[in-house]
Amino acid sequence: MDYSLMTIKELSSGLYDGKFSSVELTEFFLNKEDSCSAYISKNKELALEQAKRADERIKNGERGDLLGIPIAIKDNIMIRGVKCTSASLALKDYTPPYDASVIKKLKESGAVFLGKTNLDEFAMGSSTESSFFGATLNPIDKTRVPGGSSGGSAAAVASGTTTVALGSDTGGSIRQPAAFCGVVGLKPTYGAVSRYGLAAMASSLDQIGVISKNVEDAEIVFKNISGRDNLDSTSADYSFKECNVEISKLKVGIPKEYFIDGIDLNMKKEIDKSIDELRNFGVEVVDISLPHTKYALSTYYIITSSEVSSNMGKYDGLRYGFSDDDAKDLIDSYFQNRGNGFGKEVKRRIILGTHTLSAGYKDAYYKKALEVRHFIRQDFIDAFKKVDLIIAPVSPSFPFKIGEKATDPLEMYLLDIFTVTINLAGLPALSMPCKKLDNLPVGIQVIGKHFDEAKILSAGKQFEKIWNI
Ligand code: GLN
């Protein structure tokens, strides 16, 4: 039986009816060839043990959303006793002694961890090319990138080597790879999901979320991982409650700034068509403006680099991580361990962030960026006084060829224009496929108010039927 196309609910009912076991499912996924290099490692032993336990729980009459369901985990999220590399030489052999809070929750739900998926080193990138372990390929066209940084998770879902996956999103890393691989990605509200046990990139923006085949699967996993966690003081007291929005009563805003600059015109046409289809179902579509969008990329790259330079400070190779045994003395060991342990992009951001936080420049850059962030957030708050949801493109262009932008970091940063604003404002957003053009997927973002996941998911499930992709 081919389980690769089945959704969580389909798998659950097969498990409950005794049509197949979780061990069978798990073996199927573990044995399926990873032809896109989506995984850094597979957890054969742990997965089969978890599957066996899930089968026992099901036999004893227990039921649960994720009981016995296979899931892949981005390799910057800690599972106790399983290598967690963040796709870096610096942590190539690092085995965490604790579980991330989302992992603890998923263990209780009875999910089965198939393996750890590839990413851009420390989640810095938009193509999954900067991984120490090599690039992941896009399952739709293997000459193209899967997007990043959660490209491994998106490629694993799209290629059917897992049912669903966890990713992390600091400036688009769940939504953009989901769009590039033609699958669904959910970036929750900042604080809706605990970050404890996620290797930090930029702590005021990072958020763990879901990549899945459809909106319902994203909702199921989100329900299971969200909520307050005492180990993350920024996590919110929040419990997810499903809702059912009537789309004929929905008012959706289209931000004009997202449809003028830099967007591929063929992509724009497809998105316009998809919006027209929503109109035919009674959705009210109005134009809105998010006037500070033009400052978003510079604000994002100043804030992330600053936080990156601080978060990366702990990787000195002295207590754990990559360490060069030939270092002459302590100072030399810092140079060797950090100079050789990190790749180019990570070092670029550490240098930039150290500069923007330095005594003479922090007022001009870092503090200024924090002030502008406030305006960007306020744009959204004002817009949401007029509309229920906002619809926007995910990426200005289609998945590009492997290597095409690898040598030009600035060009790569420009791709993040439509996703970083959401992180700066702390909002939830769904990325979902709406059309295909020459077999390449077109993604759309459905953005909601803070903690309005229920609404974007409910609308998303209905839009999915309308776009029928
Ligand atoms: N592409 C963005 C960056 O490189 C986003 C990364 C992310 O969301 N982790 O910063």
The DSSP result for 19-81, as a single string, is SS-HHHHHHHHHHS--TT--EEEE-HHHHHHHHHHHHHHHHTT---TTTT-EEEEETTB-BTT
How many angstroms separate the alpha carbon of residue 267 from the centre of ligand 1? 22
Lookup result for tokens 């919110």? 236
At 101 the three-state DSSP class reads helix
Are 78 and 99 in contact by the 8 Å Cβ rule? The answer is: yes
Q: Which ligand 1 atom is nearest residue 201's CA? A: 9
Active site residue 74: yes
Q: What is the dihedral of CA 147, 158, 144, 150, to 10 degrees?
A: 20
d(CA 84, CA 399): 27
pLDDT for 262 equals 82
- Tell whether ligand 1 has an atom less than 6 A from the beta carbon of residue 419: no
d(CA 176, CA 146): 9
pLDDT for 303 equals 98
Predicted confidence (pLDDT) per residue in 253-279, tens digit = 999 999 987 899 999 999 999 999 999
pLDDT for 76 equals 98
pLDDT for 406 equals 87
Instruction: Provide the β-strand partners of residue 186.
Output: 210, 430
Predicted confidence (pLDDT) per residue in 377-415, tens digit = 999 999 999 999 999 999 999 999 999 998 899 999 999
How many angstroms separate the alpha carbon of residue 31 from the centre of ligand 1? 31
d(CA 461, CA 356): 42
d(CA 23, CA 69): 10
State the catalytic residue, choosing from 12, 21, 74, 159: 74
- Tell whether ligand 1 has an atom less than 6 A from the beta carbon of residue 198: no
Strands laid side by side in the 70-74 sheet: 39-42, 112-117, 70-74, 164-168, 208-212, 184-187, 429-437, 440-447, 389-393, 251-255, 284-288
CATH of domain 3-225: 3.90.1300.10
Instruction: Provide the β-strand partners of residue 210.
Output: 166, 186
Tell me the percentage of the chain whose pLDDT exceeds 90: 97
Q: Is the pLDDT of residue 231 over 90?
A: yes
> What is the average pLDDT across 319-347?
94
- Tell whether ligand 1 has an atom less than 6 A from the beta carbon of residue 185: no
What is the pLDDT confidence band of residue 1, given thresholds at 50, 70 and 90?
A: confident
- Tell whether ligand 1 has an atom less than 6 A from the beta carbon of residue 423: no
What are the backbone dihedrals phi and psi of residue 167, each rounded to the nearest 5 degrees, phi first?
-135, -175
> What is the average pLDDT across 34-58?
98
> What is the average pLDDT across 89-97?
97
pLDDT for 260 equals 84
pLDDT for 464 equals 97
Q: Is the pLDDT of residue 112 over 80?
A: yes
Whose C-alpha lies nearest to ligand 1, atom 4?
125
From 74, 120, 121, 124, give the residue whose CB has the most ligand 1 atoms within 8 Å, as the site to mutate: 124
Q: Is the pLDDT of residue 326 over 90?
A: no
Query: What is the torsional sign of CA 217, 219, 222, 223?
Result: negative
pLDDT for 469 equals 83
- Tell whether ligand 1 has an atom less than 6 A from the beta carbon of residue 345: no
What is the pLDDT confidence band of residue 308, given thresholds at 50, 70 and 90?
A: very high
What is the pLDDT confidence band of residue 325, given thresholds at 50, 70 and 90?
A: confident
How many angstroms separate the alpha carbon of residue 423 from the centre of ligand 1? 10
Predicted confidence (pLDDT) per residue in 160-205, tens digit = 999 999 999 999 999 999 999 999 999 999 999 999 999 999 999 9
Mean residue pLDDT across the chain: 97
At 288 the three-state DSSP class reads strand
Are 271 and 442 in contact by the 8 Å Cβ rule? The answer is: yes
Q: Which residue type, as a one-letter code, is found at position 363?
A: D
pLDDT for 39 equals 98
From 304, 309, 346, 424, give the residue whose CB has the most ligand 1 atoms within 8 Å, as the site to mutate: 304
Q: Looking at residue 441, what DSSP letter applies? A: E
pLDDT for 227 equals 97
d(CA 381, CA 292): 13
- The beta strands (E) that lie in 58-188 are given as 70-74, 112-117, 164-168, 184-187
